[in-house]
Amino acid sequence: MREFLDRIAAVVGPHGLVTDEATLEPFLIDWRKRYIGRALALVRPASTAEVAGVVRLCAAERTAIVPQGGNTGLVGGATPDASGTQIILSLSRMNRVRAVDPLNNTLTVEAGCPLVTVQQAARTADRLFPLSLAAEGSCEIGGNLSTNAGGTAVLRYGNARELTLGLEVVLASGEVWDGLRGLRKDNTGYDLKQLFIGAEGTLGIITAAVLKLFPRPRGWATGIVGLDSPENALMLLSRARERFGERLTSFELFSDLCLELVLRHFADSRAPLHTRHPFYVLIELADSYGPEVVCEELEDGLAAALDASLAGDAVIAMSEAQTREMWALRESISDAQAREGKNIKHDVSLPASALAEFIAVTSAALERAHPGVRVVCFGHLGDGNLHYNVSSPVGVDADSFLANQGTINRIVHDSVAHFHGSISAEHGVGQLRRGEILRYKSPIEMELMRKVKAALDPLGIMNPGKLLARTN
């Protein structure tokens, strides 16, 4: 094994191979601290050629590879198993912006670029890269693409899949597919990039991407609306789409329990409205006009919602600082729930028309099964994505409550299936959901996925045990 590691070191150089246990430790555990593995080594290539060289060596030895970006995933997709025989392949040293083309509205970046770096590169070119999520300061674009990340602006711009024009991928054989084409139209066969986006590193390793850019808005308007029910939130969403059109960028739902947890665990936070409401929506508009015009549009629209009794109260940010405060309330929910104690996470998507009924039916079923259970419900209402998380009742130990995870997952996911939804909207499958998808995907879907995996990774070395159960 020492000889094998020496050959890898010859490819990536002395700074590209890590075997020291103390240095390895943070790479062996997932963000939620639910999965802990062991690894033969951490390999940190600095170029596509080095990635290809490492993969060729691993293929020859049949050594499994676990690609890892910023390690901010929530389903254990970037954590090695307990065998100590796998290598972790970190792309963090591959963090260059290769090209910016403002006329074509494209940006070419390497997979290890933090998402915030990609956003900044777009701003420098007076453009917008709209993918935005709470972990953007540490997550990396390769991980965003491998999980088909969504975020807060999917309503207007789409998810990672829709923001990608081309990819560079190192295949399981060590060959490099150069698909870095910045074309909106290319009707010359299979759209191969879509195989690797959302595949969680199980088919190949994304090393670079051509991303779509957009004109940078000149004005934003952000507000928070207090509502009595998810039904009213959906009616408000319908009106907002009709009234604001493509200016409607974000429409984020969160419950009063979410707000309560944020206020409890973040001392600097404060309630956005004078009175509390069962639910809230954070709404944001963006346009090429100045902020005064957009703010006036939002004010008029929310005033109409209040007149129609769709909303109980509303407030509009009057400064950038107030806008940041509003977004901090929404983006701190996950951290607040983590500080409250371990919880059972669900990242689901449903037809918008079914969201309100799903929340009511599922919450009632959970209350019958576990009286006093706390449902922390929030998400991207505009694109049908709910983070429907379940915390223990007050006074019940969170660790012991986790013993109910299997039965709670069954209640939630069976309800998702009843309403024709998906049990993973943007977090992926990883280790956490690989067994669950067998219940909710048809046998032919699973067989097609296995055939794709076998065709592109016949040795089974690419992130084995993630997304699909091991087959060899």
Q: Which pLDDT tens digit goes with each residue over 338-395?
A: 899 989 999 999 999 999 999 999 999 999 999 999 999 999 999 999 999 999 999 9
pLDDT in tens, 95-112: 999 999 999 999 999 999
Judge whether residue 470 has pLDDT over 90: no
Same domain, 278 and 199: no
CATH number of domain containing 310: 3.30.70.2190
237 pLDDT higher than 50: yes
Domain hosting 72: range is: 2-90
pLDDT (tens digit per residue) in 156-203: 999 999 999 999 999 999 999 999 999 999 999 999 999 999 999 999
Q: How confident is the model at residue 74 (pLDDT cuts 50, 70, 90)?
A: confident
Count how many residues are written for the chain: 472
Which CATH number does the domain housing residue 381 bear? 3.30.70.2740
The pLDDT tens digits for 392-450 are 999 999 889 999 999 999 999 999 999 999 999 999 999 989 999 999 999 999 999 99
C-alpha separations of 317 from 237, 244, 304 in Å: 19, 18, 18
Based on the fold, state whether residues 323 and 231 are members of the same structural domain. yes
Kindly tell me if the per-residue pLDDT of 472 is higher than 50.
no
Give me the amino acid identity at 130: P
Domain boundary among 170, 190, 215: 215
What would the pLDDT profile of 253-297 be if each residue is shown by its tens digit? Answer: 999 999 999 999 999 999 999 999 999 999 999 998 888 899 999
For the chain, what is the domain count?
Answer: 4
Against a cut of 0.75, is the pTM above it?
Answer: yes
- Tokens 């004005």 appear where? 219
The C-alpha torsion from 26 through 32 and 35 to 38, rounded to 10°, is 0
Q: Are residues 208 and 226 in the same domain?
A: no
Query: Mind giving me the DSSP string for 401-419?
Result: HGGGHHHHHHHHHHHHHHT
Could you tell me if residue 188 is inside a domain? yes
Question: What is the percent of the chain with per-residue pLDDT over 70, rounded to a whole number?
Answer: 99
Residue 427 carries which DSSP code? S
- As given in the structure block, the two tokens for residue 92 are 């963090």
Long-range contacts at 294-300 (CB < 8 A, ≥ 24 apart): 294/219, 294/220, 294/221, 294/247, 295/219, 295/221, 297/221, 297/243, 297/244, 297/247, 298/221, 298/223, 298/244, 299/221
